[in-house]
Structures are given as C-alpha cells and as structure tokens.
Structure 1
Amino acid sequence: MFPLSGLVVLDFSQFLAGPSAALRLADLGARVIKVERPLTGDASRQLTLRNQRVGEDSLLFHTINRGKESFCANLKDPSDLQRVKNLIAQADVLIENFRPGVMDKIGLGYEALRIQHPRLVYASVTGYGSQGPWADKAGQDLLIQSMSGLAWLNGDRHQPPTPFGLSVADSLAGAHLVEGILACLLRRGKTQQGGRVEISLMESVLSMQFEVLTTWLNDGHQVPNRCAKNNAHAWLAAPYGIYPTEDGHIAIAMGSVTALAAIFQSDELARYTDPATWFSCRDSIKNLIADILLTRPTEHWTRLLDAHEFWCSEVYDWKTLFASEGFKALDITQRVRLPSGQHIRMLRSPLRINGQRSAIAKSAPRLGEDTASITADFNLAGVDL
C-alpha cells in the first residue's frame, strides 16, 4: 500500500508539467484518470523525440503517462460535460493546464466546483500566472528559460545564452505542483477542506534561481561576472567547474585553492593564498588548473583527488553512467509491457517509501481505452453518451 492508494486524480492536462505531476501521484499509489478529447487526446501522443513511437503513440507519451487510465469526453458536448462533472464529484484531485479562463468558460473552474465539492484539491499549471500582461502568452519551456534569465546565466562569459538540454521548467513546475497538492491533501485530512494549488512555469524557474537571485537583489543588482572558461556557477570562486583532461573531463567542486596547489605540487597555484583572490582571479586560477589537468588521464586525477578527500568526479555520458555499478545499485529502471507484448524500458519513481520503490507495470493507455470501465466504476452510465 503506497501513501495515496485509494485517491482518485483527474488529469485534464497535456504535454509535460501537469501530466508529470499526475505521474508522480500515480507512483505514490493514486488512481490517475486522463480526461482526453476524442480522436486526438493529449497532444503529446503525437510529440516525438527522434521520431520514436510505440504503436499509435509517441514513446514520450508513454514516458509521462505510464500507469494512467484514459477517459474520453468532449467538454463542448453537454452530456459528456455532465458525465465529467459526475466524475469530478467522486475525485480527490483535479489537475489542469488550460490557458487562464478556459475551465471557467466550460463550468469547470475552481470557483464553480469548490462550493459543490469542498473536499476537492484543484491544481492548475500556467506559463506565467493567471494575472498580468503575460497571462495569455504561450507557456513553452524554452521561452520560459529565455525570459527568466536562466539561459542568460548559463554557459561561459563569451558564449551566447545557453538553455538547458531538457525541459527543466516543465519538470520543475510538475514537482512544485505535487508539493502543493500533497500539502492540501494533508490539510484536508485535518479540516475536510480541499483547496486550490497554482503554479506557473515562470515562478518555478525563478524559485530554482533563489540563491543567485537573492544575491543579486541584495548586492546592488551587480551583474554576475561569469567565468570566461569552465563556468559552472556565476558566483562561485575557483576551482569550481568542469575541466578537460588528457582523455576526457573532470568536475571539481568547492574546495581550497591552497589545498589544490599542494595536491598538484604547483608553485604557481600556491601564490593564491588569499581566499578573496579565488573569486577575483578565478579565470587566471582556472587556467592554471586546466593546464595541469590536461597532462594526465581523468582516472589519475580522480584517484589523486579522492585520496586527499577533495571533491571531484568523472563526467559521464549516459552509456558510461548506465554501465557503472553505482547506477546499477540504484535500481531505478523498469520494463513496462505493452498490450502488444512488446516491452519498453523506462525510469521508475525516484522515491522509496518504507524501503520500497513504486514500479508501475502498466503502460500508458490507448486513447479512450478505459472509458467503459470508468463509466461502470463511477456509475456514470445514467448520463446519456
């Protein structure tokens, strides 16, 4: 029994942020029902990475929606809409990521539902919040990274703005949404009152930058002076960064330049005895470190630095990572069987509850696959189809 076993979650969202939140709730034991439009369903059914598909749907859709059920309903059709309202009356959580005002127009907004269903936890994801001049702007991950300052902060000083290589805004917003949903469910257990949870992609990415933004807000709005080379953090001193070695790369985290000079037996590094210079002269220091590290293989340097308890690591690609014993010990992958008998390999929940990690063996649903069974389970047959 996982913590959310017995709870019903209705997932009206599509793409990544909302569905990823629903996925985490499913991993915690909730029954998650995707409410999808007929014929097309969630738009991510057709959104592929490297054109990978599994049957009629994209592999990406399976990644985000494993273990869920699919219930088809045309929200513009009165009978379908009534059936959905009857389903909401029996649900614990509703997740939606329509543009602000859309759910209100069809009678499924929070204010319309909270009076009839006070125990419902109503969760919304937007791009930039529901108020202000950006409210109707497309909330897409790359746009959020670009507008939030994240892409501008990334990369070396002379490089153009550099986005993350994944959908960090969507993923982080999904995690924040789960945090709010679980908090409301906890309060509901005490008060019998649900509540509304709202998160925007922009606010999630701003929150992600809380360390550097707090620094900027309190130091006279000084623009961060990114390193010219080996940048990994705009406000951290040398030696922090990733460096090339003779045969690869090595990451060196926070530590004393003086200690590093002793380990490397470098008189040039040893001149930087004042910790204040580790930031003010970090480009010069990093150039010295880079020249030293290029002379030997990565394994030599990690062995040497580990022996002196100086924080460092190899820089893995995925093939190297998956082959490592450390990764295998995490046991974080699973094989999910499709109705066709084919298997796909994907990640499991990162959480362990009482020593157990959820492993949902059910693949993502075909569009409308569970409409009939959900209609029976929730006694929706009285509503004309």
Structure 2
Amino acid sequence: MSLPLKGITVLEFSQYLAGPYAGLRLADLGARVIKIERPKGGDACRQLATKDLWVDGDSLLFHTINRNKESFCADLKQAEDLAQVKKLIAKADVITHNFRPGVMEKIGLDYEAVKAIKPDIIYAQVSGYGNTGPWVNKPGQDLLAQSLSGVTWLTGDVEGGPVPLGLAIADMLCGTHLGQGILAALVRRARHKIGAKVEASLLESMVDFQFEGLTTFLNNGQQAPQRSATANAHALLGAPYGIYQTADDYLAIAMVDLADLASALECPAIDLPQSQAFSQRETLKANLQKHLLSQSTSHWLARLRARGIWASEVLNYQQLLKHPAFEALAMPLTVQRPNRTRVVTTRCPIRFNNQTLRSIKAAPALGAHTNAIAEELLCDL
C-alpha cells in the first residue's frame, strides 16, 4: 500500500511523549521519522519506565511511542555534529522539538535559522504553556498541565477532591494537535511552496479538550460545573448519565428519557418530567443507584437493550481484549527490532483505503541508524 506521507522526512528533536506522539502518527502514515538523539542517553523517555517495564535496554514506554522510527546520534553542542544536523535539515521536510524556550535559539536551530537552511521547512514546536506569559518557563509535564487546566474538577464525584485523568491525556492531545498542524502545513506547502512554523502546547490542548464545558461557563454567567454526588460522568449533563454499581458489576447509562428509563427498569422513583433531569439530578441518581443494586448487570442490560436504551457493561482490560468486538478490530500489533526483540503494542487507529496501517518496525536502538543515514544523506553534501 502506498502511504500518503511516503517521501516526507521528519527530523524529531522531541523527547518524552507529546512531540514523539506526533512523530509516531506521521510515521504510521508513511513519513520517514528520524530521531535526533544525544549520543549519551538519547531521548530521555528511554529511561522513563512505566511499572518498571524495560525491553532490550529501553523503557517499554519508549518502545510504545517510538516504533517505526530511526535514530541518529548527534551532540548539538559540538560544531561538527551540529553541522551534520544542519545538512540533514537541508534534506528534511519537517522538524519537531520540545526544548525549553531559548534552547534552540542558543544552539542556532531556531525557526529563522532553520528557515535560512531550508526555506520551505515545516518547523513544529511543542511547549507546556505557549511562548508568552508568566508560565513560559514552567515545566511542561502532563499532570501539571492537567492540574492547571481545570479538567481535574470534572472527574470523580462531588465529595472528592480534584481527580486527574489516569493517562497522559495532555501529551497525547498536544501531539495530535501538532500532527494536525504539520499535515495542514504540508498541504499548504504543496500548493504554495512555502513553509510554516507550527506550535502547540499542553495547556492549550487541555483547554481545547474542554471547549464544551468552557463555552458553557463563558456563556452562563460563569457558573462553575458541578460534579454529581453519585455516578458522576459529565458535570454538565443531567440524570441518569453515569456509571452505576449493580449486584455483581457496573452499568453505564447514557442520555435517555427518564420516563422510558423508569418503565424499562420498573423504577418509579425516577419517573419525573425530563425537564427535571438536571435540577433533580442528585435525587434521581441516588434513587437509580439504589434500585440497580438489586439485580445483575446482565439483567438490567437485557431490559434496557430490549427498549433500545443506550447502556453498556463496563469492561476492564482483560475483558476488553477477550471481547469479539475488540478482536474484530485487530488492534494488537507485534513489532520487532533487528535482534528479534519483540513488543506487543497497538496499531495506528486510522484506516487508509480500507486498510489498517500496521508497520512492524520497533522503536530504534540509540544511534542504530547514524552510520546508514550519514552514508545516505550526508556523503554527497
């Protein structure tokens, strides 16, 4: 299959998650992504382990976010290495970085300097909080960005404190936005032969993630969202929206007319006019929760599905991976290094021309491609 970004070369100076996540998706779509790494240590994510899991000397997390890439070692503080990198830039289409403000300027690889080398370059930059304001130099880290964005007051029930999302959502969203900007810039370059500087930040991505809630806040007299006391799932929605405990498990119920739900579950305690779904949210949810504890999840699902009501069981990882619906998606992907080290991960979620994107090339060992890249791209300059 001919992938849409075949022939595009990306130099990835980015580390950790946000920038490399953008690079991962570009690689999935056919771009050649070359990580520019320090000779000693490389991308700091190589040593950032989740659950203390390591594979072939690198963290499992590094393998997860950097499959299908190449690694070129260069010490940017050394004139000879920097000169080589500048030669690579002359042959690249995109560069990405997430260095602290001022670092690329000090090295001599800021946007204006890089544009002088390659006028139509797409220069993509990740930051924590943008390039102006009092937070410019604040550490750009996922949990800190979540904590500053307001999102932690949307998850969990009202009696609890702030609850962060249990994954690196700021990094993933920021990487997604950076990738979108890069793709748009590549389209514009193809049409108008000009480059661009693309920027995305963790905080802006988290604010955008909450555009629904913030738009409501900005237009309703700035009334703060209030989490439910029971089964909170969306601070702006009325009953019954949420996840409830049953006699043996859990049950998710989405938007539904209260009268229809009361009839399906034979629960008169929630049979109120739909206009009271939000104003009486706490009472309705508490009554529903008490009722649902009397029977199993399968019992309630049978009733709800018979009436076409949006509801679902709540799966954990083990249950998800065994489910026929998950198996039909064929999401697991086994990647392999040249030394036969293997990692099972997940494939790109995008389908292209009815085909899934399934590169089996694992994350590169540090400097694994330095010599080959130098011979291919630098010997004729």
Equivalent residue for 2:164? 163
The 2-side partners of 1:217 and 1:201 are apart by 21
Equivalent residue for 1:35? 36
The 1-side partners of 2:237 and 2:205 are apart by 23
What are the within-5 Å matches in structure 2 for residues 164-179 of structure 1? 164-179=165-180
Contact 2:245 2:289 in 1 (8 A): yes
Equivalent residue for 1:237? 238
Equivalent residue for 2:213? 212
- For 1:260, the aligned partner's letter is L
Contact 2:9 2:33 in 1 (8 A): yes
- For 1:304, the aligned partner's letter is R
The 2-side partners of 1:335 and 1:55 are apart by 15
Question: Aligned residues, how many?
Answer: 380
Determine what percentage of the aligned residue pairs are the same residue.
50
The 2-side partners of 1:297 and 1:194 are apart by 59
The 1-side partners of 2:350 and 2:265 are apart by 40
The 2-side partners of 1:58 and 1:376 are apart by 29
Shift of 1:341: 2.2
Shift of 1:268: 2.2
**CA offsets per residue over residues 255-291 of structure 1, 9 Å max, x none?**
1111111112222222x12x22110111100111111
The 2-side partners of 1:115 and 1:16 are apart by 29
Partner of 2:198, secondary structure, is: strand
Partner of 1:378, secondary structure, is: helix
Contact 2:10 2:94 in 1 (8 A): yes
Contact 1:86 1:380 in 2 (8 A): no
Deviates more, 1:336-345 or 1:76-85: 336-345
The 1-side partners of 2:61 and 2:350 are apart by 21
Equivalent residue for 2:357? 358
Partner of 2:228, secondary structure, is: coil
What are the within-5 Å matches in structure 2 for residues 77-156 of structure 1? 77-156=78-157
Contact 1:375 1:381 in 2 (8 A): no
Normalised to the residue count of structure 1, the TM-score between the two structures is 0.97
- For 1:296, the aligned partner's letter is Q
The 2-side partners of 1:338 and 1:92 are apart by 26
Equivalent residue for 2:348? 349
**CA offsets per residue over residues 330-352 of structure 1, 9 Å max, x none?**
11111112333232211000000
Contact 2:265 2:304 in 1 (8 A): no
The 2-side partners of 1:124 and 1:318 are apart by 34
Equivalent residue for 1:367? 366
**CA offsets per residue over residues 287-333 of structure 1, 9 Å max, x none?**
11111211111111112111111001110000000000000001111
The 1-side partners of 2:379 and 2:349 are apart by 35
Equivalent residue for 2:325? 326
Shift of 1:380: 4.2
The 2-side partners of 1:380 and 1:302 are apart by 66
- For 1:146, the aligned partner's letter is S
Contact 2:63 2:343 in 1 (8 A): no
Partner of 2:277, secondary structure, is: helix
User: CA RMSD of the aligned region, Å?
Assistant: 1.0
The 1-side partners of 2:141 and 2:379 are apart by 36
- For 2:315, the aligned partner's letter is Y
Partner of 2:278, secondary structure, is: helix
Equivalent residue for 1:73? 74
What are the within-5 Å matches in structure 2 for residues 16-31 of structure 1? 16-31=17-32
Contact 1:87 1:380 in 2 (8 A): no
Equivalent residue for 1:280? 279
Partner of 2:378, secondary structure, is: coil
Equivalent residue for 1:305? 304
Equivalent residue for 1:181? 182
The 1-side partners of 2:337 and 2:295 are apart by 48
Shift of 1:381: 7.2
Shift of 1:64: 0.5
Contact 2:153 2:161 in 1 (8 A): yes
Deviates more, 1:12-21 or 1:337-346: 337-346
The 1-side partners of 2:286 and 2:61 are apart by 41
The 2-side partners of 1:369 and 1:381 are apart by 21
Shift of 1:116: 3.4
The 2-side partners of 1:225 and 1:15 are apart by 34
- For 2:301, the aligned partner's letter is T
